[in-house]
Structure 1
């Protein structure tokens, strides 16, 4: 299997070299770009980029503009790097389709671990699908459909929905979701989950109601047929109790 290719975009040569060195040790191929325009040229010319690490503040074209352009054509995972750590910046990144958001300065080892986690979860076999309550999740193709109609999800929304589907009916705390979906020492606020859940519910249309809020704790994913089964079991128990009285 060929080494996975990562595009590292930053106007600081020192930062590009630091990240490239750490990723290369792990067996990744790294290509570089020093500004937004060069990043798009490399991305569309090579066509086999598996993940993009993208700085926000750059000359010629900033990271938000680059991300917006990439998202018109590709769902490739994108990790945003920024020297700012304001919540509004983070939310803007997620709105535009970013999958991870890391503030500078950061640990290169943690960045590498985030890269590995994203690529590991996106590399599931193409035949591995989940069909539940009218939702079909193709983990290999990274595609979701609702009642046969395709739904466009960001990488992190896809991971969140997959995690919910794999753990249907279970009460999932925000901490547990962070640990399993955001992976490896995620330092973000639990509000990140609520933001993604809100967007996911909207994109799933009426199936968004499957994601139940457990106040003060987290969420439970309960497809329609499970709700019916639970009701039928409850009614059956009630009927049995009535016959024994």
Structure 2
């Protein structure tokens, strides 16, 4: 993968770059947020590791820039471990979040895991927990039963199932499924999640509430 690293601490930046390069990835490193922003505008990446606390432009702003043009795995790094910081990262589309200090090998494993989810999400048909979700026909099959869901329920299920284990905030789900012009409230997500849970009580997956953050789908 071609990976962007934005980290102002030279030791941490070099450690991450060395670890990812040794694993066969191509790395482009930026020392400031402004430098990373210029790279985002001129190049295409397959993944990004962004420090939240950067001079010039912070990692949250960079994440937002990437999300406008590139659908790639993004991991945020920060020395802060507060829930509000994690919520902010997930709200703007980060896939994962690591608090310093961390093991570079763990970062590599997490990045590879997120990348696998993205490759899976590119498939029109998903199969998990004994359920097949077909984006081309908007049909769901469980055992010998074909289930036709309301469109928004289907799109919510497909979004969560495309990235099992990933936390999605309510705001992100609303933006991805209902659009940025949606004028309802975020409780709409809760209602749709409740309906999906009731429909798939016996499936091999479950939709979990992550308190203070949002929802994630886990395969049993």
How does the TM-score come out when normalised to structure 1?
Answer: 0.59
Indicate the residue corresponding to 1:101 in structure 2.
97
Indicate the residue corresponding to 2:161 in structure 1.
161
Change (3 A) 1:201 1:71: closer
For residues 139 and 51 of structure 2, the distance between their equivalents in structure 1, rounded to whole angstroms, comes to 34
Deviation at 1:71, TM superposition (A): 2.1
Match of 1:19 among 16, 19, 38: 16
Change (3 A) 1:25 1:9: same
Unaligned runs of 5+ in 2: 127-132, 141-149, 179-187, 204-220
C-alpha offsets along residues 199-237 of structure 1, whole Å, 9 cap, x if unaligned?
576465678745338xxxxx83727xx9xxxxxxxxxxx
C-alpha offsets along residues 61-108 of structure 1, whole Å, 9 cap, x if unaligned?
111221222222222221100000000011011111111111000111
Match of 1:212 among 152, 175, 194: 194
Q: Structure 1 or 2: larger helix share?
A: 1
Bigger relative contact order, structure 1 or 2 (CA pairs below 8 A, ≥6 apart): 2
Larger Rg: 1
Deviation at 1:198, TM superposition (A): 4.1
Deviation at 1:135, TM superposition (A): 4.8
CA RMSD of aligned residues (A): 3.8
Indicate the residue corresponding to 1:68 in structure 2.
64
Indicate the residue corresponding to 1:50 in structure 2.
46
Indicate the residue corresponding to 1:181 in structure 2.
165
Change (3 A) 1:197 1:107: same
